[in-house]
Amino acid sequence: MESVYERMERENSKWKAAMFRVKQQLPYEIKKMYAARRALQFQRECGLRDLNYHVSVGGLDSITLYLFLLSIGIEDVKAVSVSSLENKTIRKVHKALHIEALKPSMREDGTRWTKAKILQEFGFPVLSKEIAAKIELLQNPSEKNKTVRHAIITGETGEYGGFQTSSRMKLSQIWLEKFGGYENENEGVNYSKPDFLVSSKCCYYLKEKPCDDWAKEHNSVPYLGLMASEGGRRAKGLMLHGCNYFGSSTIRSAPFAIFDRQDILRLALEMDKWYQEHWKKFGFDYVESVIPKVYGEIAKDSKGRLYTTKAQRTGCEICGFGVHMEKRPHRFDLLREQNPKAWQYWMFDCCTDSDGNKYGWGKVLYYIGVPYEWDGACMVNEVGQLSLF
């Protein structure tokens, strides 16, 4: 069987990644022109293949992408979103831009997935998508994922991964200590394990699948607002396959692949201006700005770098991805301030264990060492310098 290394050689991946990095260093105006060219090429190629195209719109990046595509003449691009999951100021912009609202996907029992059902049945989206996916594998052992589980604990990849001994598959030590206990017997280690489930499937069932299903139904392929500079699972794919990818099972365009945060914020400002001049032509409703209020404003710091004055990221208020890296007040603190009832529910009541006891994010945050206020006390575990007072 071909190893990962041999495959990488075959794909000439090093050279592709180097070329990609060169493009990332280009000046903004050139990157913008490049993005427009790639988006138009994708549109043409879709035309030849008799495919429609759309944008799955969420926060600022994909709102900017949608307007950018319209501004360069791709006026028949459709826009869809599971808007109900977004912050209300984002929903307002979606509504003004007449973005088609989709519902979360259906379950086998004929009801729709909700966040609470996902947490209960699959587990909590916490730490990062990559880490959650690894923990999920440990929690769901099978003969098929045996090699990967071994790599997650030890870093050893075996024959398929080119016999690496310290691969990136290994969980970092801090999370191994907390979540590696599922493999204690197999690996002769002595790690802990939590009494809750972790999962990376939340976005898939609530956001991605509804958009994928819509796409299939409409014979449509997506433009995505992904940027390699944001890292994560998809960065490598963007570097290897470039902006436009027509694979056997995946077709997509990511015209902003070579952008960085500065580029997207600059383009967001330009698209806001463009919207002010064109909203009537496209039959949109009027909003003061298409930069949702949850982000505040896009301003310049003392070094001339753009930043959003409020949220840097959005997504769901009760998402645990990245919460361990946030300074206080973190997103759960803010939720407590803004909506104490919702906070109470998500922290302590959204799931039920096998003994019928309610629990929620409070248990998860405590376990990973993220402090939170509770009844005037501060709950922190040993990872986050324990104090309970």
Residues contributing to the site for ligand SF4 (CB under 6 A): 85, 125, 202-203, 206-207, 315-316, 319, 321
Which of 256/361 has CB closer to ligand SF4?
Answer: 361
Reference 290, options 27, 66, 129, 127; nearest CA is 66
Length of the chain (residues): 389
Q: Can you say how many angstroms the Cα of residue 208 is from the centroid of all Cα atoms in its chain? A: 10
Which of 74/126 has CB closer to ligand SF4?
Answer: 126
Name the minimum Å distance from CB 384 to ligand SF4: 21
Name the minimum Å distance from CB 202 to ligand SF4: 3
Name the minimum Å distance from CB 302 to ligand SF4: 32
Which of 35/319 has CB closer to ligand SF4?
Answer: 319
> Helix, strand or coil for residue 176?
helix
Q: Where are the alpha helices (DSSP H) in the chain?
A: 4-10, 13-24, 28-48, 60-71, 88-96, 115-121, 129-139, 146-154, 173-179, 184-187, 202-203, 209-217, 233-241, 261-278, 331-338, 340-344, 361-368
* For residue 329, cis peptide bond before it (omega within 30 degrees of 0): yes
Amino acid at 289: S
Reference 298, options 310, 284, 287, 288; nearest CA is 310
Name the minimum Å distance from CB 335 to ligand SF4: 12
Which of 157/200 has CB closer to ligand SF4?
Answer: 200
**Sign of the dihedral through C-alpha 27, 30, 35, 38:** negative
Name the minimum Å distance from CB 99 to ligand SF4: 17
Name the minimum Å distance from CB 127 to ligand SF4: 11
Residue 255 CA neighbour count, 13 Å, CB half: 29
Which of 182/321 has CB closer to ligand SF4?
Answer: 321
Question: Do 294 and 87 form a contact (C-beta atoms < 8 A)?
Answer: yes
Which of 40/106 has CB closer to ligand SF4?
Answer: 106
